[in-house]
Amino acid sequence: MNSIYSVGITGMGSYVPEKIVSNDDLSKIMDTSDEWINTRTGIRERRIADKDIATSDLCTEAALKAIKDANIDSKDIDLILIATVTSDMAFPSTACIVQKNIGADNAAAFDISVGCSGFLYGLAIGSNFIATGAYKTVLVIGSEVLSKILDWEDRSTCVLFGDGAGACVLQRCEDGKGILSYDLGADGANGHFLTQPAGGSRMPASHETVEKRLHYVHMDGGEVFKFAVRAMEKASLKALEKANIGLEDIDYLIPHQANIRIIKSSAKRLKVPKEKVYVNLDKYGNMSSASIPIALDEAYHKGLIKKDDTVLLVAFGAGLTWASVVLKWVK
């Protein structure tokens, strides 16, 4: 990064709904089983938000924890970035709703839509505002309530996802630490492999779109799998090259928690031993943009990630997109 200031994560927080839905629970409402889901995905259970809970509610809880962890006041925040594909509504942005909820009166606010890569895109965007001297404190949140856009009659998709939110505070840090590099990319030509077809200006809501179940997640799992393994390796190597460090310098790899086979394949291709790979997929499923910040928060609060550790974060998502971040932990 060409910058005036180094930027690091100075606070972390996460929140997941209380309701746990296990694979056995799903087997009671569809043709599936714990063995079928777990052997194919590595998922055993996921958190599902109540019907009256929206993305901004999860964001607010995670944000307050991150603000406390960073030992700042909400009014210190200059910018709120929320990565989500399940915003409360088309407009206003979920970031503006969260701004109100946490009393961040001095903050600008906007959402970004990059699917599962969203939190890492948010880190890149937010860090540049601070690195250039424009802002001092940025709140980045990845949050989804994917359960609201899943077709619960389609076992190929609904068993994969869960709800949650993870947040971090970005601020200036000691030179040479914090976010060392990032790599962002997109392959829009293959975006049709992972979509929510209806609900936008291309296909507004109508009786027909509802009847055809076009407001739910549609995914070609095989194509997304192949893309994911290639993209995660490519993005990881690019970010490491930009940071001028090698794979052997990585203390922890936190990949997007989508599928255990993707995680294992990526770790194998990158030659990262399993004890250096953080996985919580079994407890939460794929939470899209919330997966990495929740995993990072857990690893940090468990004491697995320590000050000056080098951490590689990498994800792929709808778009199709990919992103990676290399950082030296400052807390």
- How far is CA 270 from each of CA 29, 250, 274, 320, rounded to the nearest angstrom? 39, 11, 11, 21
CA distance 320 to 191: 5
Given the residues 23, 59, 96, 116, select the one marked as catalytic: 116
256 is catalytic: yes
Residue position matching structure tokens 């009014």: 75
Residue 286 a catalytic site member = yes
Cα–Cα distance between 35 and 153 in angstroms, integer? Answer: 19
Report DSSP state, residue 249.
Answer: G
Give the list of residues 6+ apart from residue 84 with CB closer than 8 angstroms, or none. Answer: 55, 59, 94, 111, 113, 118, 142, 143, 144, 288, 289
Q: Which of 64, 72, 321, 33 is nearest to 167 (CA)?
A: 64
Cα 202-203-209 angle, rounded to 5 deg: 170
Which residue in 59, 96, 256, 259 is the catalytic one?
256
Gap between the Cα atoms of 143 and 62, Å rounded = 9
Torsion sign (Cα): 206, 212, 215, 220: negative
Mark out the alpha helices in the chain (DSSP H runs).
Answer: 23-27, 34-41, 55-70, 94-102, 118-131, 155-158, 207-211, 221-243, 260-269, 281-284, 291-301
Annotated catalytic, 158?
no
Determine the length of the chain.
Answer: 331
For the chain, the 3-state helix, strand and coil shares in percent, each to the nearest 5, are 40, 25, 35
Annotated catalytic residue within 23, 128, 259, 286: 286
For residue 317 the two structure tokens come to 């998502």
- Catalytic annotation, residues: 116, 256, 286
